[in-house]
Amino acid sequence: MKTPLEAFVKWFDSVPISLRKYLAHIFRICTTEDTSQMLAIPDQSLEGFRRWVIKMDFPLRVAARMFYVRSIFDMVIFHYKEIVSGSDAFSHLAGERNNIVQISTRQWDGIFASWKELRHKEMADTYIHSWASWMIKIQMEAK
């Protein structure tokens, strides 16, 4: 059984580096409580996001982390056309120096399709819940 985290990391590593930086940067802006972190450059956001997302933890916390990541990434990926057209609140970040380069429509379509597929498989509510429940059960039996 592939874990939701493994599936997410595999997907994340498959998208262009420019989009990984952008997604990590948006994630940081949307989730940080330290406003000074909003000034970080996308490279720093990517490093911090990656460390945070792969951190080993209790299954329930890993599941919560996957739900958290999924909600922010949904906001960006499902609205990429608005971002590219400049009519989205995050559009200004797409064109900033040291941020993402424009990705072709064909690439976006592929990323959109692969995200939807991941969303309906290993990142689906029932899959994440089942995985976390299974892991908790295994831990409880080991005691």
3-state secondary structure of 78: coil
More confident residue, 4 or 91: 4
pLDDT reading at 120 higher than 80: yes
Q: What gap in Å lies between CA 139 and CA 25, rounded to an integer?
A: 34
* Enclosing domain of residue 124: 4-142
pLDDT reading at 87 higher than 50: yes
pLDDT at 26: 87
pLDDT reading at 108 higher than 60: yes
Q: What gap in Å lies between CA 88 and CA 6, rounded to an integer?
A: 30
pTM over 0.95: no
- Residues 6 or more apart whose CB falls under 8 angstroms from that of 23 comprise 12, 15, 49, 72, 73, 76
**Domain count within the chain:** 1
* C-beta of residue 6 within 8 angstroms of C-beta of residue 62: no
pLDDT band at 97 (very low <50, low <70, confident <90, very high): very low
pLDDT reading at 95 higher than 70: no
